[in-house]
Amino acid sequence: MLALDEIHKVPGWSETVKRLWDEDTADGLELRLVVLGSAPLLVQRGLGESLTGRFELIHLPHWSFAEMRDAFGFDIDRYLWFGGYPGPAVLAEDPVRWTRYVLDSIIETTLARDVLLLSRIDKPALLRRLFDLACRYSGQVLSYHKMLGQLQDAGNTTTLAHYLDLLAGAGMVAGIGKYSGSRVRQRASSPKLTVLNTGLLAATSGLLPDDAAADPGFRGRLAESAVGAQLANAAASRECEVFYWRERNREVDFVVKTGPRLTAIEVKTARRAESLPGMAAFMREHRPHRRLLVGTGGIPLEEFLGQPVTYWTA
């Protein structure tokens, strides 16, 4: 077996791999090649251009709660704050140093290198501000027009949607679409922003873990973002599709579609269980296969995050 890392940095790599693949096949060589890259869309583009029918695409998302728990002994509170980054996990006892590591070694290098490799970026400053905005509003629905207002930019919504797709391709933040039963309406909907790793939300918050622990509202954002990240990462691996649902003042946090099956998910972190009018309305209108309450009064957050998404949607 041969493994090649950061392959997208090599000009013309896919044509070379194709030629060598064909030569090895003709010679009867049993070679297995693993091609890795930190810019998934660039790797996928090279695969599609030259290697049709010759590859299997394996998406490697952020480390899950179960993986961070088993490897580093993280409990749910540590996972919500430090997220699924194995590299700086050893710095968890020094949150200030951990934050600098994430800001400098992960966020800055990803924005300055990987995302800029994915596509032409005419407004790199807008891209950075969009990332900050998505972290600040993680777990909230925000229209593209409101985003432009928050960003104080005279750009257009198409550019903003494109930049959000690039950030999702780099494993940073994503925009979850609204479930409506209509593909056209889903694409045109305002996105629900979510970080793809809660460590990004923590590092950009300006807070320390003790500050966050004393703020129930912030912990609630971390919890919903952790669930959103797990679902969005599963969707990126094509295990499912993920949406939110909203009609008037009724809302369901997440709707997961696996084939014909729908699973409605609400995340609650309040001390006491609350009524779920949005879930009741969604049940009447769309009749999902399953409905799940994660958190207070339902499935413990650590139990939900400790299992793959397919476990809950089967």
Tell me the β-bridge partners of 254.
265
What are 156-164's contacts with CB under 8 Å, separation 24+? 159/122, 159/123, 159/126, 160/126, 160/130, 162/119, 163/121, 163/123, 163/126, 163/127, 163/130, 164/130, 164/134, 164/191
d(CA 229, CA 197): 6
242 and 312 Cβ atoms separated by less than 8 Å: no
pLDDT at 180 (0 to 100): 87
pLDDT at 153 (0 to 100): 74
pLDDT at 47 (0 to 100): 67
204 and 232 Cβ atoms separated by less than 8 Å: no
pLDDT one digit per residue (tens) for the chain, 314 residues: 788 887 777 777 888 888 888 888 888 888 788 888 766 666 766 665 667 777 787 888 999 999 999 999 999 999 999 999 999 999 999 999 999 999 999 999 999 887 876 677 888 889 999 999 999 999 999 999 899 888 887 678 888 999 999 999 889 999 999 998 765 455 568 999 999 999 999 999 999 999 888 899 999 999 999 999 999 999 999 999 999 999 988 999 999 999 999 999 999 988 776 778 999 999 999 999 999 999 999 999 999 999 999 999 98
pLDDT at 154 (0 to 100): 67
- Decide the pairing of beta strands 192-195 and 241-247: unpaired
pLDDT at 184 (0 to 100): 46
Per domain, the residue ranges of the chain are 2-50, 65-313
Rg value, the chain, Cα: 21
Burial of 268 (0-12, 13-18, 19+ CB in 10 A): buried
pLDDT at 41 (0 to 100): 62
For the four alpha carbons of 205, 234, 33 and 23, in that order, the dihedral sign comes to negative
169 and 118 Cβ atoms separated by less than 8 Å: yes
pLDDT at 28 (0 to 100): 84
Cα 268 to the center of its chain, rounded Å: 20
3-state secondary structure of 223: helix
